[in-house]
Amino acid sequence: MKYYILFGPPGAGKGTHGAALVEKYNLKHISTGDLLRGEIAAGTELGKQAKALIDAGALVPDAVVEGMIESAFDKFTGVEGFLLDGFPRTEGQARDLDAILAKRGEEVTAVLSIMISDELIYKRIQHRAAIEGRADDANDEIIANRIRTYHNQTEPLIAYYKAAGKYHEVDGGSPVTEENRARVLAMMESL
């Protein structure tokens, strides 16, 4: 099985471009953000605990998302692999993912990183707020916290995966979505 990580700051286009990748390469798209929003919508206990953290632009505990990832690995078969979107997001999650995969005799295949500037994060998310109605897109304070959380807790993973020789990056900042998608697909082709 292939285990790809789709990496990037909030609003980089992980969800947007991930959709094209999973179709072309027969992968299962696992977005921890989408799974958590599903739990909130279903009114589960996990969803209730996660909601306050998500609405503040903070991360939910590592153990929560790791549990969701492991059950997804168990549940989905008949695919060539997985495209992890929004996971891992802390060094702890990255190390735990390595351990989870090692137990299965597997490893991370590659990290595909989509980069955009902080300025563009605001523009993209403010635009999406009106379309998707996500609570964590709703005000600039929350967006600012998500950007801070990304720089403090998630950005160090770039060095982690560079050291492992698995890190690949493209610029996702073109105003034309198709241009960004072509770059992401070309990065995947080059692996």
Write out the residues near Mg ion by the rule CB under 5 A.
Answer: 15
Minimum CB–partner distance for residue 118 and ligand AP5 (Å): 13
Structural contact between residues 173 and 113, judged by C-beta atoms closer than 8 angstroms: no
Least distance between Mg ion and beta carbon 186 (Å)? 21
In whole angstroms, give the CA distance from residue 158 to residue 61: 20
Q: Which is nearer to ligand AP5, 69 or 110 (CB)?
A: 69
> Which of positions 7-46 make contact with ligand AP5 (CB under 6 A)?
8, 10-16, 31-33, 36
Residue 89 touches ligand AP5, criterion: CB under 6 A: yes
Q: Whole-angstrom Cα distance, residue 73 to residue 110? A: 17
Q: Which amino acid is at 14?
A: K
Helix, strand and coil content of the chain, in percent to the nearest 5, comes to 60, 15, 25
Q: Is there binding between residue 112 and ligand AP5 (CB under 6 A)?
A: no
Sheet arrangement for strand 110-115: 27-31, 81-85, 2-7, 110-115, 167-171
Residues numbered 129-188 forming contacts with ligand AP5, rule: CB under 6 A: 136, 146, 174-177, 180
> Closest CB to Mg ion among 66 and 85?
85
Three-state DSSP class for 69? helix
**Residues near ligand AP5 (CB under 6 A):** 8, 10-16, 31-33, 36, 53-54, 57-60, 65, 86-87, 89, 93, 124, 128, 136, 146, 174-177, 180
